[in-house]
Amino acid sequence: MLWSRNLQSSRLIEIWVGNAKKPFLVPHNLLISQAPEYFAKALDPNTFSEGKARRIDFPEDDVESWRVFLFWLFNRELPNFPIDVETAHDRGGSKLFVRCWALGDRYAVPAFQDEIMLALMDMLKNFTVNWPPVKLAFDITAPNSQLRRIMAEEAGENMHRGLWKDEDFKKLDGVDFTYEFIKAPKGSKTKGNERCNRFKRQKGEGGKFTYLWKSYMVGEGPKKHRIVGDTM
């Protein structure tokens, strides 16, 4: 209740994205509380003009990924994503995952990145990605990022199963793909009718479980979740 009153009393910030004709209106307190590292500095009236104007412009960003981010910001959960199955090429799903993860990386919102990563893992249990979202991940994220890692592993899955042609791999030349691809495992175990279970927990020595999905998190990650199928 107190949180709700704080939001209602908070001044609204205009978020202008890309070529959109209208801004997103977001409570100042919400931005500061959920993404303090970037927005606290950007909205400081003593430091940047954006803070005085109560407006921030993101001309290079895309509106769709911002819609997802703001939905998560207000609801603490993700909206439903489109899924691009291996026979349908990319219909927006995988590329949107990539753009959203990169947005969280740019503005230092690790909790959002982790939610996106878990949703991507959920999709990858039963479907694959084509080369365009893999290339996009290498184009817009830093070397050794967790998103590059999972996309390189997915390329290994596709090679192992013969789902990509030689031409698909050639399209990834020049995006630092080779190094990550060499590190990635080539082919994962399967279980039942799942395409891949490399994200689930594994029992090690002494019966202790290792939660593999946790290694893809950039923040603390959730203590439990329903997406990958493991709970802690």
Mean per-residue pLDDT, 6-20: 81
Q: How far apart are CA 112 and CA 170, in angstroms?
A: 32
Query: Which of 60, 85, 110 is the last residue before a domain boundary?
Result: 60
156 with 210, same domain: the answer is yes
- Mean pLDDT, all residues of the chain: 79
Of 78-87, 116-125, 149-158, 199-208, where does mean pLDDT reach its minimum?
Answer: 78-87
* Token code pair at residue 73: 């910001």
108 with 71, same domain: the answer is yes
How many domains does the chain fold into?
2
Query: Which of 13, 35, 60 is the last residue before a domain boundary?
Result: 60
What's the domain range around 18? 1-60
139-178 pLDDT tens trace: 999 999 999 999 988 888 888 778 888 888 888 877 678 7
Reported confidence tier of residue 3, pLDDT bands at 50, 70, 90: very low
Reported confidence tier of residue 232, pLDDT bands at 50, 70, 90: very low
96 with 177, same domain: the answer is yes
Q: For 150-196, give the DSSP string.
A: HHHHHHHHHHHTT-S-HHHHHTTTTTTHHHHHHHS-S----BTTBS-
3-state secondary structure of 211: strand
Global pTM? 0.81
Q: What element of type H or E holds 39?
A: helix 36-42
Q: What element of type H or E holds 13?
A: strand 12-17
152 with 212, same domain: the answer is yes
